[in-house]
Structure 1
Amino acid sequence: MTPRFDAFGLVVSDMAASVAFYRRLGFVFPDGADAHPHAEAELPGGLRLLLDTEESVRAFHPGFVPPAGSRHSLALRCDDPAEVDLVYGELTGAGYHGELKPWDAFWGQRYAVVHDPDGNGVDLFAALPGAAE
């Protein structure tokens, strides 16, 4: 038997705020997901994004302490460089923290980073014209 990658999980402090943030990015959560301690959004290719509240995790792991700082990020491919700018502007305009403004990275992508409500990085990127993907 070989384990296979099935889901990416995040522990969140405020389920409603996190569901609202990820819905803005196109993730589809069931109606009412923001009122539950666990929520899932199916992703293309059969993967899932799992959100669990801190309280939910403490129910089975009483010593759980949320990590300080972000140690990972979700990377979202945009259709083109203009979409990177648009999505970044929409999110920061809605009050989310912009960690890195859109820029043309030396590796051939338009690239930006915004934080979700818990400070997790969400990378936005698109290939620059003429750059190999």
Structure 2
Amino acid sequence: MGKPVLDAVAVSAADIERAKTFYALLGFDFEGEGAFHSDDHMEPVRGAGEPRLMIDSAALMEKLTGEAPRAPNHSSFAMLCDSPAQVDALAAKVEVAGFTVLVAPWDAFWGQRYATVADADGYRVDLFAPL
């Protein structure tokens, strides 16, 4: 029996269309072949070998778990960018679109350009690239 493989990262959203807007800014494709969208669940197109991003409505998650979802107070996932310039550009797009840049892009001491942004529900996404 093989070892389990990370297949999906999930977040919940009070406004699923607003979440779609945020994650589209980060490059997720919600319109292409393989994307899925319903009133309570959506998934963007997934490339070969990539884990799925699953976005569920907060109402669905409360129904399934019996409690209202709460965004974490730490980054739940990180996105590897092509370059430091892409980190800067994505953080700027997020801010211009009205979302929050929690940590502005900076040159981290561990050798990466790093930023942290948050979706409308407070889920944090780290953006990084090697310097």
Partner residue, 2:125: 122
- Name stretches of at least 5 consecutive residues in structure 1 with no aligned partner: 129-133
Post-superposition shift, 1:4? 2.8
Distance in 2 separating the partners of 1:9 and 1:68? 11
Distance in 1 separating the partners of 2:64 and 2:76? 25
Q: Which moves more between the two structures, 22-31 or 75-84?
A: 22-31
TM value normalised by structure 1: 0.83
Post-superposition shift, 1:32? 8.0
SS at match of 1:51: strand
Distance in 2 separating the partners of 1:28 and 1:68? 23
Identity of aligned residues (%): 40
Distance in 2 separating the partners of 1:92 and 1:52? 23
Q: Residue 71 of structure 2 contacts residue 121 of structure 2 at CA under 8 Å; is this kept in 1?
A: no
Partner residue, 2:26: 25
Larger CA Rg, structure 1 vs 2: 1
Q: Of the candidates 31, 53, 60, which is equivalent to residue 57 of structure 2?
A: 53
- Name stretches of at least 5 consecutive residues in structure 2 with no aligned partner: none
Post-superposition shift, 1:3? 3.3
TM value normalised by structure 2: 0.84
Q: Which moves more between the two structures, 14-23 or 67-76?
A: 67-76
Post-superposition shift, 1:114? 0.8
CA RMSD, aligned part only?
A: 2.0
Q: After the TM superposition, which parts of structure 1 deviate over 3 Å for at least 4 consecutive aligned residues?
A: none
Post-superposition shift, 1:68? 5.6
